[in-house]
Amino acid sequence: MPDQIETPVADAYRGNWVDRYAPAWSRPYLRLSRADRPIGTWLLLLPCWWGLLLAITADAPRWFDLWIFAGCGIGALVMRGAGCTWNDITDRHIDGSVERTRSRPIPSGQVSVRQALTWMALQALIGLLILLTFNIAAILLGVASLALVAIYPFAKRFTWWPQVFLGLAFNWGALLAWTAHRGAVEWPAVLLYLSGIAWTIFYDTIYAHQDKEDDALIGVKSTARLFGDKTNLYLRGFMAASVLLMMVAILIALVPNGNVLSLVIALGGPWAFGWHMAWQMRSLDIDDPDTCLRLFRANRDAGLIPVLFFAFALIA
C-alpha cells in the first residue's frame, strides 16, 4: 500500500499539490476526487457563475449573491469529487483495462470500494448542506441533478453520446444558480444550460480522443469514436451552437430591462468564447493525446471568458 499511495495518477498534473504536499493517508481519497486534476471542478463551476452573473445583471445584486457565488464554488468542488468517486466505483473494471486510467486509486488498489463509497457519501453530505441554504426551487433542482450524476458513468455502455449525459450533469449549475437568485427557472437559464451542453460535447470529445484506441478494444462508446475523421466538422457545429445559444440567452435576459452598455458588453462574451474554441480547433490533432489533453484543459480559460464579460456587464 505505501508504494501505491506514492504512485501518482497517470493524467494528473506533474508536481500537483496532492502529490507534493497532501498527507500520505489522504492522497488516494483526494485522487478519487480528482483534486490533483482541478480542471473538472472548473468545468462544473463555470456554468454556475454564468447563470448567477447573468441573473444578477438582468435583475439586481443582493448580498446573498455573494454566498451563492461562494457556495457554488464549494459545491462544485465537493460534488465533482463525489461524482468522480462514483464514476471510479462504477468504472473500476474498465479503468483497469485502459493505460491512462489503470493508475487510479481503485483499480491500482489504493482504496477499497467500501472506502470509496464512504468518501463519496461524505462529499455529497457537504454538498447537501450547502444546497439547503438556497431557496426551495434551487434545492429541488439540486436534488434532481443526482439522477444525471448517477446515470452518467453508465452512458458509455449504451450510447455513442455519453458526452451529452456529461453535459446534462455538468451544466446543471446554470439552472441552479440562476434559480438561487431569481427563484424560478426561466428561459435565459435554459438557453445557457443548452449552450453549456454544446460546449461540453465540444471539449469532452477532444478529451475522449485520448482513449479511443483502448475504448475500441473494450467496447466503450464515445463521440470521439462516433465522429472519427469528421470530428472537426462536428466540433465546429457544437461550437457555433454554444455561441449562438449563449447570445440568445443574453438577449432574452437583458433586452427588457438591461441598459445598452451592459447588453453590448455581455454579448462580447460569446464572441470571445467562440474565438477561444476556434483557436482550439486550429491547434487540434485528434491523433496526439498530449495535444488533446492540453486543449481540454484550456477550456477552463474558455469558460472564464463569459464570466469576465458578464461581470463587467453587471457593473456597467
Cα 125 → chain centroid: 20
pLDDT of residue 2: 43
pLDDT at 1 exceeding the cut of 60: no
HSE-CB of 3 using CA atoms within 13 angstroms: 1
pLDDT digits (tens, 9 = 90+) for 239-256: 999 999 999 999 999 997
Cell numbers at 127, concatenated:
454538498
Give the CATH fold of the 2-315 domain.
Answer: Tetracycline Repressor; domain 2 (1.10.357)
HSE-CB of 230 using CA atoms within 13 angstroms: 6
User: How far, in Å, CA of 36 to CA of 8, rounded?
Assistant: 9
pLDDT at 119 exceeding the cut of 80: yes
User: How far, in Å, CA of 280 to CA of 291, rounded?
Assistant: 10
Residue 58 makes CB contacts below 8 A (sequence gap 6+) with 188, 253, 254, 257, 258
Which has the closest alpha carbon to 204: 148, 241, 161? 161
User: How far, in Å, CA of 180 to CA of 62, rounded?
Assistant: 11
Arithmetic mean of pLDDT over the chain: 93
Asked whether 88 and 116 are in contact (CB, 8 A), the reply is: yes
The reported pTM is: 0.93
pLDDT of residue 97: 73
Q: Which amino acid is at 303?
A: G
pLDDT of residue 57: 94
pLDDT at 108 exceeding the cut of 90: no
Cell numbers at 242, concatenated:
454554444
Domain ranges in the chain? Answer: 2-315
User: How far, in Å, CA of 6 to CA of 28, rounded?
Assistant: 9
Residue 23 makes CB contacts below 8 A (sequence gap 6+) with none
pLDDT of residue 91: 85
Q: How many CB atoms lie within 10 A of CB 3?
A: 7
Over residues 221-240, mean pLDDT: 97
pLDDT digits (tens, 9 = 90+) for 164-181: 999 999 999 999 999 999
Which has the closest alpha carbon to 12: 105, 94, 80, 136? 105
pLDDT of residue 7: 65
pLDDT digits (tens, 9 = 90+) for 72-103: 999 999 999 999 999 899 988 877 777 777 78
